[in-house]
Structure 1
Amino acid sequence: MPSTERALYHRLAVAQSEGRAPSVVAAVVRDGVPVWCAGRGEVAGEVPGPEVQYRIGSITKTFVAILVMRLRAEGLISLDDRLGRHLDAPAGGEARIAELLSHAGGLAAEPRGPWWERTEGSLRPELPDLFGERPLRHSPGRRHHYSNTGYALLGALVEHLRGRPWYEVLREEVLHPLEMSDTTLLPRAPHAEGWAVHPHADVVQPEPAPDTGRMAPAGQLWSTAADLCRFAAFLTVGDDRVLGAADVEEMRRPAVPAETRDRDTSYGWGLQLLHHRGRVLAGHSGSMPGFVAGLWISPAERLAAVALTNATSGLSAPTLAADLIALVAEHEPPLPEPWRPMSRVDPGLVAAAGVWYWGTAPHVLRVRAGRELELAPAGSTGRGSRFRPEADGTWTGLEGYFAGETLRIGSGADGAAGGSRGPGHLDIGTFVFTRTPYDPAAPVPGGADPEGWRGKPDDTDA
């Protein structure tokens, strides 16, 4: 709608003007399709468009995390493995791979000097050159501490297990399937130059853009708004050629709270999580000298946005991208998916749908497509979760208190789950849910009082 486009362009224009950025380009994706893109300022004398490259900084880390998740999907690693099991690391070998993905490995934030983002990677040709006398700043797994060196090690892990440079692996396994041909290790034309803008005068000077070598997995990549729109669409729903929807969703789950007093942020596996204007966004910010980038997705609304600028500071591209999502959602709320009955009916599961009681607290069990179950409190108290079906006839909780716990449907009157009189009970991690409060026929731990329910007790009931 014209009013939405005007609001988006106004936000972009204000960001470029007030942020004093030489240029900025931003785009919005809805339902996997780019629906808006605009630029402001100049690159080589022209307003930048979706095909102009910018350096994307730490958004590189999300690409590396996907390569690690692919290693897990192939059974080459477990995220619970310690790094040292697979890589002869000069530091961080005791950290679990999952901890490195979520910046909880305890490693120093930056490699040994000089400032790696502005100096050539040839100064740090080998992994031991990244670490000083105190490579660990915290015990692995104890706290979130953002670590660029940790992602350098994850890139080295990919190289070791694949037998070739991490970017070659990325190009073959991720960029090519997603048709992201303009995401590269080094810049190609047309690309923006990175600038430092004087804080108190309207003047600029160029920033260096070195090849950071061993540190490249932490922030080397260049990309375009068009390519990042494709990447955002992938991060929203997955792509079986790269990583399935369930694995991508797993990356978006909070692993650790961020190392900040700001309670609105946390970190998953290679993805930052941001609470912004009433919604939870997943994605990543990125910065290198001369560039700031932001990419966020709102999976629940099937929306995403990217923003790229070529100034070291001033314009917050991550905030701009998050605001663009909010503007679209406010001006044009997403339509819900049309309801359709499921294609295959499991009578036993249909019999299990309805009200169940944990003790005296009512809950409602709903049956969704694909045999997925959804349990929710019917009142103000209780615990709920979605449950994924497993091959052995059980279900696994996906969120909240029941995340990872097993749900089993107990046998009915005829001895079978979902029998002629329906299931007898639900068992979720030893919690027994019954059709009536404390059903004496169900295996409620501790049993039900043989006298059943009664009125107000008097002194003779002692």
Structure 2
Amino acid sequence: MFDADWAAAQAAAEEELERWDEQGPGAVVLGIERGRLQLLAARGRAECGGAALDGTSVFRWASVTKHVLAACLLESGVLPLEMPLGAALPELAPAPAAVTVAQALAMQGGLPDTRESLTLLGFHALDRTDAAALLAWSAGIDRLNAEPGTEVAYSNGGYRLLEAALARRGVVFAEWVAARAGRLGLGMHASEHWSDPVPGLVPGHVVGQTGWSHGAQGMHLSAAGSLSGSAEDLALWLADLMPRPEFARMSRPLPLASGQATSYGLGLRLLQIGGEMVAGHGGAQPGYRAGFLCAPGEARALVVLSNRDDGDATGIAARVWARMRSTRLRRDAVGTWAPPGLYAAPGGDLWAEVKPGAISVRDAEEALFAASDGWVESAAPQSMMRLRCTDGAIVGEMFHKPVRLLPVSAGNGEAEAPELDGHWIGDGALLGIRGTRLRWGAGPRATDVALTPLGNGRWLFPAMGRRICLTRLAPDRVRLSLARSRVVEYRRL
């Protein structure tokens, strides 16, 4: 049993929120214990200058949805954890069909992320796509990011497939959510698309050169991130879930196939705060941030929901929880641990950029913190890293795999001509290369960008706000990759 200083937590929450303009978008922090409200702090507005946010304000929960899908799957019992996905979705290609339900839930399936795969084919974030077409297209992809059970790497793709598999067995996620929400008196709601009406939903805000604007996305919202509700709704849902056996199973991390321990379970991750391992999850969608932590033994939950892109809901939750427990996160800011710049593995598509206090791996940034004996590490169980700089190279572990990354020298690309001239096609998408320039997109969306060499047949190029890695597999075959999708291939025409 761990004592809770809710007064200290209240003060910590208010300190976290006070840095924001009271008239702009903000966040709500809410804590409960044994069904009783213990903490409520709110700052900001539903719209700039509009109604004030409070515990009943409705936000998108983004990836917080994942643990709800896991609860639905476990309660229904129609998809055994050891069952391969192909048993419920026979149209799947052999590689994804062999991934088990447990591996898909625990980010161990190597399944490519749907959104990032679409990016690699030139789809913009606002381009609308529907569930049936996405499933049919995904089913035909017979490649994985990694061998199942060998790494924990975040991807939404498995949850989309699991939602479809549940429906094939007669369990429709949106209907299950509506039934649970009705029983508990909650406003928890599952949407199909961003444009679907959600009662009371506050707009999400992203900041640009001219100030705040509303976030949006066009891709169908799967059970990887389709839920919305208030902070009160989420806290009461957790209060009902925590005593159930499903929660205990979800919060038990799934080891890798080798038996190596992880800190990610079934839609839940475990974070160490002081001497306590705390279950929770976070989520992000354009203009929204969400996060929660909970301790089932004390029936205690802390929820943070924000309608701004820089809301850092998971960080706020962790810092407030630490103050509540009169402990600290054991996270010391990292200094200069490696020379800033680009690094790449000797082969394959693994690359990284070292930044002050962070590292971007395949264009996904993670904060780093000082560990012992000169090591640095991440705090996210779904993107575990433990690294150090030795003789100019970055060595250690990423995603539970050993890594060695070498600095990318400024001249290594000058001696390596791309030899990629021509037009390339991948699943109907086209790109053109001439010398060290790549043309991406068509018509008014077309952009002409430079290829930045990483060495050994790999280049980076910017597209749609991302840095994509192009890897030459053969003279007339290349692969494009991002952090969550490493399977999209193009062939020279």
TM-score interval for Structure 1 and Structure 2 normalised by the shorter chain: 0.5 to 0.7
Deviations 1:329-383 (A, max 9, x none): 339xxxxxxxxxxxxxxxxxxxxxxxxxxxxxxxxxxxxxxxxxxxxxxxxxxxx
| 8 A Cα contact 1:282 1:296, kept in partner | yes
**What SS does structure 2 have at the residue aligned with 1:158?**
helix
- 1:10 matched to 2:14? The reply is yes
| 8 A Cα contact 1:21 1:315, kept in partner | no
- The one-letter code matched in structure 2 to 1:64 is L
**What SS does structure 1 have at the residue aligned with 2:280?**
strand
1:202: how far off? Answer: 7.8
1:192: how far off? Answer: 1.5
Q: 1:59 aligns with which of 51, 60, 64?
A: 64
Q: 1:68 aligns with which of 47, 65, 73?
A: 73
Quickly say closer, same or farther: Cα 1:295–1:3, change in 2 above 3 A. Answer: closer
- In structure 1, stretches of 5+ residues that fail to align are 239-245, 258-262, 332-462
Q: How do 1:20-169 residues align onto structure 2 when only pairs under 5 Å count? A: 22-44=25-47, 45-72=50-77, 76-91=78-93, 92-111=96-115, 112-114=117-119, 118-122=126-130, 125-130=133-138, 133=141, 135-162=143-170, 165-169=172-176
**What SS does structure 2 have at the residue aligned with 1:121?**
coil
- 1:282 matched to 2:279? The reply is yes
- The one-letter code matched in structure 2 to 1:30 is E
| 8 A Cα contact 2:206 2:213, kept in partner | yes
- The one-letter code matched in structure 2 to 1:130 is S
| 8 A Cα contact 1:53 1:191, kept in partner | yes
1:81: how far off? Answer: 1.2
| 8 A Cα contact 1:108 1:137, kept in partner | yes
1:301: how far off? Answer: 4.1
Quickly say closer, same or farther: Cα 1:250–1:42, change in 2 above 3 A. Answer: same
Question: Which has the greater radius of gyration?
Answer: 1
Question: Any runs of at least 4 consecutive aligned residues in structure 1 with deviations exceeding 6 A, and if so which?
Answer: none
Matched residue, 2:227: 221
| 8 A Cα contact 1:28 1:325, kept in partner | no
- Hey, what's the Cα distance between the residues in 2 that align with 1:229 and 1:2? 16
Matched residue, 2:482: none
TM-score (norm 1): 0.60
Deviations 1:406-431 (A, max 9, x none): xxxxxxxxxxxxxxxxxxxxxxxxxx
Matched residue, 2:207: 197
| 8 A Cα contact 1:23 1:39, kept in partner | yes
- Hey, what's the Cα distance between the residues in 2 that align with 1:234 and 1:14? 31
Quickly say closer, same or farther: Cα 1:119–1:135, change in 2 above 3 A. Answer: farther
1:269: how far off? Answer: 1.0
Which range is displaced more, 144-153 or 300-309? 300-309
**What SS does structure 1 have at the residue aligned with 2:311?**
coil
Matched residue, 2:340: none
- Hey, what's the Cα distance between the residues in 1 that align with 2:298 and 2:203? 34
- The one-letter code matched in structure 2 to 1:217 is A
Matched residue, 1:237: 243
**What SS does structure 2 have at the residue aligned with 1:237?**
coil
1:155: how far off? Answer: 0.4
Q: How do 1:287-306 residues align onto structure 2 when only pairs under 5 Å count? A: 287-306=284-303
Identity of aligned residues (%): 26
Quickly say closer, same or farther: Cα 1:5–1:148, change in 2 above 3 A. Answer: closer
Which range is displaced more, 174-183 or 248-257? 174-183
Structure having the larger proportion of residues in helix: 1
Quickly say closer, same or farther: Cα 1:137–1:189, change in 2 above 3 A. Answer: same
Matched residue, 1:316: 312
| Number of aligned residue pairs | 307
1:124: how far off? Answer: 6.4
- The one-letter code matched in structure 1 to 2:227 is L
Deviations 1:272-310 (A, max 9, x none): 111124321112101111111001112344321111111
**What SS does structure 2 have at the residue aligned with 1:46?**
coil
1:125: how far off? Answer: 2.5
